[in-house]
Amino acid sequence: MPKTAVIAPPEAPKDCDICPRLAGFIAANRVAHPDWYNGAVPSFGDATGRLLIVGLAPGLQGANKTGRPFTGDYAGDLLYSTLDKYGLSTGKFQARPDDGLKLKDTLITNAVRCVPPENKPTGAEIVACRQFLISRIAAMPKLKVMLALGRIAHDSTVRALGAKPNASVFGHAKRYVIAGPNGPLILHDSYHCSRYNTNTGRLTTEMFHNVFAAIRRDLDA
Ligand code: URA
């Protein structure tokens, strides 16, 4: 069973050992791939920004390898090109943490900070890692808009805000207003920008862009 920290910082320590299964998976990857990042992946971007994007968890050969969310796997190609299109980044995304990319007014985090086997965190791991999401949200004084990528990110975000999950059910392009620690927050939902969702046509580039157009309107309002 995962252990629970008393007061969580907004970022998990790189060698976080709260979830034994995840810590063991990372330890095995450290042996197999000593040149990879292999640790809890910190949020990336502007911690004073007004937009917080919540992903699921680091990909094995993406964020777990490079140490930056959505960097090194397909999901990042769509996410970062979309951030660029909507004026939320500067520089050129080159799928490397040293590519010089900067996010504008935006922070990217994950509901679960450590890579889970087969991209599937357990319910207990999602609950255990939520303390960092709660602290992350509370530590963003100007936070106005959030984007949950997928149902797990949505549910964990709603619970992190202490809201009733039944009152705000996940759905692509849904938009909710939920009370946050520093004022009301707008929560947008999108299907996760994973290769699986885009290959199957569940999420098209246009659908993803439309969600960001709505986010842009909220930021500019
Ligand atoms: N990479 C991340 O950091 N998070 C995801 O949800 C997917 C890929």
Cα gap 56→170, rounded to integer Å? 14
Residue 167 has a pLDDT of 84
Question: Which protein residue's CA is at the shortest distance from atom 1 of ligand 1?
Answer: 70
pLDDT of residue 164: 86
Q: In whole angstroms, how far apart are CA 103 and each of 44, 50, 79, 96, 120?
A: 8, 11, 12, 14, 27
137: tokens are 């949200």
| pTM of this prediction exceeds 0.85 | yes
Residue 107 CB burial class (10 angstroms; 0-12, 13-18, ≥19) = buried
Token pair for 24: 């063991």
Query: Contact, 41 vs 110, CB < 8 A?
Result: yes
Ligand 1 atom closest to Cα of residue 194: 7
Domain map (residue ranges) of the chain:
20-220
Q: Is 70 in the pocket of ligand 1 (CB under 6 A)?
A: yes
* CATH code for the part of the protein at 20-220: 3.40.470.10
Summary mean pLDDT of the chain = 96
The residue written with tokens 């990319």 in the block is 101
43-71 pLDDT, tens digit per residue, is 999 999 999 999 999 999 999 999 999 99
Q: Is the CB of 121 under 6 A from ligand 1?
A: no
Nearest by Cα to 138 from 162, 170, 169? 162
Is the CB–ligand 1 distance for residue 114 below 6 Å? no
Does residue 1 register a pLDDT over 60?
no
75 pocket-lining for ligand 1 (C-beta < 6 Å)? yes
Phi, psi of 75 (to 5 degrees): -55, -35
Rounded to 5°, angle at Cα 189 from 186 and 194: 145
Average pLDDT (177-188) is 95
- Our answer on whether the CB atom of 116 is closer than 6 Å to any ligand 1 atom is no
Question: pLDDT band at residue 27, thresholds of 50, 70 and 90?
Answer: very high
Our mutation pick for probing the ligand 1 site, out of 37, 64, 71, 73, counting the most ligand atoms within 8 A of Cβ, is 73
